Amino acid sequence: GAGVSQSPRYKVTKRGQDVALRCDPISGHVSLYWYRQALGQGPEFLTYFNYEAQQDKSGLPNDRFSAERPEGSISTLTIQRTEQRDSAMYRCASSPMGEEQFFGPGTRLTVL
């Protein structure tokens, strides 16, 4: 079956612009996670959802970052007023119900 997909795969934006990153989880997976991965580092937790409910957003760096999953399937991570320090690989993962998480290909964000 289809794995986790993310779009766009690459995003280049200018400082100050807003960006929206999309995650399409594996069909039927209850849990959806957002991570940020710096080069050479492990993924760092941002936020996660069970169904449409955001369970934990403690990893979001500041209030410019937000996420939603309105229908319990596709999720969008939005970064407002982007800054150069936001440049990173943003990864989404989904899970049937916690524990085993399957990652998407990521969105490489570059803020100029």
Interface contacts to another protein, rule CB under 8 A: 31, 33, 40-45, 48, 55-56, 59, 91, 95, 98-106
Other residues' Cβ atoms within 10 Å of the Cβ of residue 41: 10
My answer on whether omega of the bond before 8 falls inside 30° of 0, hence cis, is yes
Cβ closest to another protein, residue 9 vs residue 81: 9
In the complex, what is the shortest distance from the CB of residue 98 to another protein, in angstroms, rounded to a whole number? 3
**CB 13, min distance to another protein, A:** 22
- The tokens for 67 are 């996420």
- Measured from the CB atom, the residue of 11 and 82 that comes closer to another protein is 11
Least Cβ distance, residue 16 to another protein (angstroms): 29
Distance CA(91)–CA(105), nearest Å, equals 7
The least distance separating another protein from the CB of residue 72, rounded to whole angstroms, comes to 16
Judged by beta carbon, residue 35 or residue 111, the one nearer another protein is: 35
Q: Are 34 and 77 in contact (CB under 8 A)?
A: yes
Nearer to another protein, 60 or 82 (CB): 60
Alpha carbon separation from 62 to 22, 50, 78 (Å, rounded): 19, 22, 12
